[in-house]
Amino acid sequence: MKSLGNIRRAFAPWTDPSAKPFIAFKNVTKRFGDFTAVNDLSLNIYHREFFALLGASGCGKSTLLRMLAGFEQPTSGEIVLDGADLAGTPPYKRPVNMMFQSYALFPHMTVEKNIAFGLRQDGMPKDEIAERVSQMLKLVKLEQFASRKPNQLSGGQRQRVALARSLAKRPKVLLLDEPLGALDKKLREETQFELMDLQQNLGLTFVVVTHDQEEAMTMADRIAVMSHGKVVQVATPAEIYEAPNSRFVADFIGDVNIFDGKVTMSGNGAVELAVESGFTIRIAAPETLAVGNTVGVAIRPEKIRVTRAAPLNASINAAKGEIWDIAYLGDMTVFHIRLPSGKFVRASSLNAQRSVDDPFTYDQEVWVSFDENGGVLLKD
């Protein structure tokens, strides 16, 4: 089998201006009474894309999926699938299947019958149904549970049945609302890779809602970060992480240090700001900002070095601090370093060696430093 890496790296229809989106939300708004759950949202998703919606509870993720599936109607705006406006098309006539956040299995049916349900309704021949169901059971590793009823399964097993049921019909578009939420970490990670394989091999378009950023980063071609019914940024996982377009996204995805300060110099591809007494940050940035403006800079913990000795140029992107806390996480160690102002900086380093001869200890004086390219200017 071919690794997914090469296929995925070459897959970027959103960079091609002539590519037509497969799913398009056009200025979609959804109000419940006077509450706006989805607010004038526009979004393009491409054929065969693995798309993730990420955002805090209540930001409108499920509502967006439900409108695409046809269980809710937009208050205004348009949803287009494969060139056709979906308004007026009932859910069962849309080439879309949805796996619900609460997976709604039929309690009186066995696992097997639950998975076969949609296929039977479509009148698929019996032997084909049997073949498809056994494929699905294998996929979700529930072969030995085929004849059990949902109440005889654990939460994680029920979730896998729901997943198998939603995949069985091989819809063109599969909407998955927190598909792996009830699985333990190990099974969750395995299933992530299986979902990616499946999506790739069957040529499906997936839209997945998840609370789990790491899951979104692992699986998705692109991620939309949502807040209060709006999309704040849509980009690849790497772009979202390395080049967040706002304080909200920087803060929402992964760990980050945010420094605020006044611009002291701007131009020639860099911005300098004074963040606290004696600590000046210089960050590569194409834009020119007015001197005196207050701006923020986001720097990921892994971009920050912790050293005993002062770095060569200690007057820029370097500050002295004190180790306040050390969290040993196995693969890496996270340091909390207190600057003289009282601000804490998080720095992480990989534990490549098995043991360290002269490890850092609490209360030790250290330097934190980073490169000009290690941070991102935040424009809001």
Return residues touching ligand ATP (CB under 6 A). Answer: 32, 35, 37, 55, 57-63, 101
> Does residue 213 touch Mg ion according to CB under 5 A?
no
Kindly write down the DSSP assignment for every residue of 54-104, as one continuous string: EE-TTSSHHHHHHHHHTSS--SEEEEEETTEE-TT--GGGSSEEEE-SS--
> Does residue 63 touch Mg ion according to CB under 5 A?
no
**Minimum CB–partner distance for residue 317 and Mg ion (Å):** 41
Give the tokens for residue 58: 């209540």
Q: Report the candidate in 328, 329, 320, 339 with the shortest Cα–Cα distance to residue 361.
A: 328
Q: Report the candidate in 321, 293, 302, 323 with the shortest Cα–Cα distance to residue 375.
A: 302
**Minimum CB–partner distance for residue 259 and ligand ATP (Å):** 30
3-state secondary structure of 31: strand
Stretch touching Mg ion by CB under 5 A, among 57-65, 180-188, 336-344, 364-372: 57-65
**Minimum CB–partner distance for residue 76 and Mg ion (Å):** 22
Toward ligand ATP, which CB reaches closer, 60 or 150?
A: 60
**Minimum CB–partner distance for residue 102 and ligand ATP (Å):** 10
Pair 360, 372: CB distance under 8 Å: no
**Minimum CB–partner distance for residue 219 and Mg ion (Å):** 17
State the DSSP H helix or E strand holding residue 198, giving kind and residue range, or none if neither: helix 185-202
Query: What does 58 interact with, of Mg ion, ligand ATP, none (CB < 5 to 8 A by kind)?
Result: ligand ATP
Q: How many CA atoms lie within 13 A of 11 on its CB side?
A: 19
> Does residue 62 touch Mg ion according to CB under 5 A?
yes
**Minimum CB–partner distance for residue 100 and Mg ion (Å):** 9
**Minimum CB–partner distance for residue 101 and Mg ion (Å):** 5
Pair 174, 207: CB distance under 8 Å: yes
Toward ligand ATP, which CB reaches closer, 12 or 182?
A: 182
**Minimum CB–partner distance for residue 209 and ligand ATP (Å):** 6
Q: Which residue is nearest to Mg ion (CB)?
A: 62
Toward Mg ion, which CB reaches closer, 56 or 310?
A: 56
Toward Mg ion, which CB reaches closer, 62 or 245?
A: 62
Q: Report the candidate in 320, 323, 329 with the shortest Cα–Cα distance to residue 346.
A: 323
3-state percent breakdown (helix, strand, coil) of the chain, nearest 5 = 30, 35, 40
Toward ligand ATP, which CB reaches closer, 62 or 213?
A: 62
Query: What does 59 interact with, of ligand ATP, Mg ion, none (CB < 5 to 8 A by kind)?
Result: ligand ATP
Q: Report the candidate in 9, 80, 20, 87 with the shortest Cα–Cα distance to residue 47.
A: 20
3-state secondary structure of 293: coil
Toward Mg ion, which CB reaches closer, 59 or 115?
A: 59
Stretch touching Mg ion by CB under 5 A, among 27-35, 60-68, 141-149, 352-360: 60-68
* CA distance to 80, 103, 173, 359, per residue, from 73 (Å): 13, 21, 18, 59
Toward ligand ATP, which CB reaches closer, 60 or 237?
A: 60
Query: What does 362 interact with, of ligand ATP, Mg ion, none (CB < 5 to 8 A by kind)?
Result: none
- Residue given tokens 């004038």 in the structure block: 40
> Does residue 210 touch Mg ion according to CB under 5 A?
no
> Does residue 205 touch Mg ion according to CB under 5 A?
no
Q: How many CA atoms lie within 13 A of 48 on its CB side?
A: 12
Query: What does 227 interact with, of ligand ATP, Mg ion, none (CB < 5 to 8 A by kind)?
Result: none
Toward ligand ATP, which CB reaches closer, 57 or 355?
A: 57
Which residues of the chain form contacts with Mg ion (CB under 5 A)? 62
